Structure 1
């Protein structure tokens, strides 16, 4: 049994190791033995906290999605304009292609939100692995649904704030949020598949143009 007080640290290490393992080997190639190796712990520790591979996969999927919401909420400030809030949101949901930095996967808040990090290459791989599995797994579909519902609510609040303060000309905040989120998800798949935009620019410019159209009238 792990030492008393080590549970949050051990759980975080195992989740980070699982995401790294899935990024390198895929979900089918992810095993408790490999995760233990990446986490520098015994297979018994992995099993103690997560029981089996399915539970570990689901909890890692939840952490992967929660990462984005936590980073966005930490970056948004009440004094920001609605447009700046949207820009911060897009910067995390669909980072600029030029924003390439290296580092180890960390989706834990134990060291502070600013320490949380997933390299862009790993984000793309995890996105592809999890979504391909979610197409056939009801449990993973529920994780996706809950996460995107929360994202929708967050975007709607920003659009409502922009409309209430006269900063944005949004007629229907729900439709605007739905459209923007759908565009982000679609462009994320395009990135994974290396589908280049027609203008040869970073495809997040498409999202920026969409926001301008729905907010400036």
Structure 2
């Protein structure tokens, strides 16, 4: 059993280690022993918190999805324009290729959201591993569905805010949010598969063009 007071930190370390392990070895290649090695703890600590591999995968996916909301929420200010809010959202869910890795994978906000980080390479790999596993696992499908529905609600609220201010003209905010998030997921898969746009540009420009049409930008 972990020392008293160390529980939140140890739990976060195990989740981070699990995501690193999945990114490098895939879900099928991830084992409790490997997670313990990455987390620098015993296998007993891992099973103390998560009982078994299936529970650990589910909790890791929840933390992975929650990461985006926490990062975006920490960077959006009420004084921002709706366009700036969307830009913050896109920079987190589909970072530019030009952004360099700034540290180890970390989805815990114990030290503040500014310390949270997932490289775009890891983001793409984790998307792919979790989605491919979810095809045959209803529990993971449920987690993905709940997480993305919350993301779509947040994006739709920004579009509604833009409509109210007159900065945007979005006829159906929910459909627009669905479309934008679907683009992000698809473009993330293309990054993993190294399928580049014919123009040679960073493929996130496709999302930017979509938003520009909603805002009347060029």
User: Which TM bucket (shorter chain)?
Assistant: over 0.9
Matched, 1:189 2:181: no
Measured after TM superposition, the shift of residue 135 of structure 1 is 1.0
Match of 1:180 in 2: 180
Question: What is aligned with 1:214?
Answer: 214
Runs of 4+ aligned residues of structure 1 deviating over 6 Å after TM superposition are none
User: 2-side partners of 1:103 and 1:145: how far apart?
Assistant: 29
| 2:56 equivalent to 1:56 | yes
Counterpart CA distance in 1 for 2:120 and 2:188 is: 11
Matched residue, 1:152: 152
Structure 2 unaligned regions, length at least 5:
none
Aligned to 1:204: 204
Measured in 2, the distance between the counterparts of 1:174 and 1:19 equals 30
Structure 1 gap segments, 5+ residues each = none
Superposition RMSD in Å: 1.1
Cα deviation, residue 100, structure 1: 2.1
User: Residue deviations 1:168-199, cap 9 Å, x none?
Assistant: 11121112111111111111111111111121
Kindly indicate whether the alpha-carbon contact (under 8 Å) linking 2:21 and 2:30 is maintained by their aligned counterparts in 1.
Answer: yes
**What SS does the aligned partner of 1:184 have?**
helix
* Superposed CA offset, 1:90-130 (max 9, x none): 00011101112142111101111100011222212111111
Q: Give the corresponding residue for 1:132.
A: 132
Q: CA deviation at 1:215?
A: 2.4
Please state whether the residue corresponding to 1:62 is helix, strand or coil.
Answer: helix
Task: Name the CA distance, whole Å, in 1 between partners of 2:89 and 2:102.
Answer: 21
User: Could you state the TM-score of these two structures normalised by the residue count of structure 2?
Assistant: 0.97
CA displacement, residues 79-100 of structure 1 (integer Å, 9 cap, x when unaligned): 0000000000000011101112
1:214 and 1:104 map into 2 onto residues whose CA distance is 36
1:128-158 per-position Cα deviation (integer Å, ceiling 9, x unaligned):
1111101111111011101110011001100
CA distance in 2, matches of 1:23, 1:179: 26
2-structure distance, mates of 1:175, 1:22: 32
TM-score (norm 1): 0.97
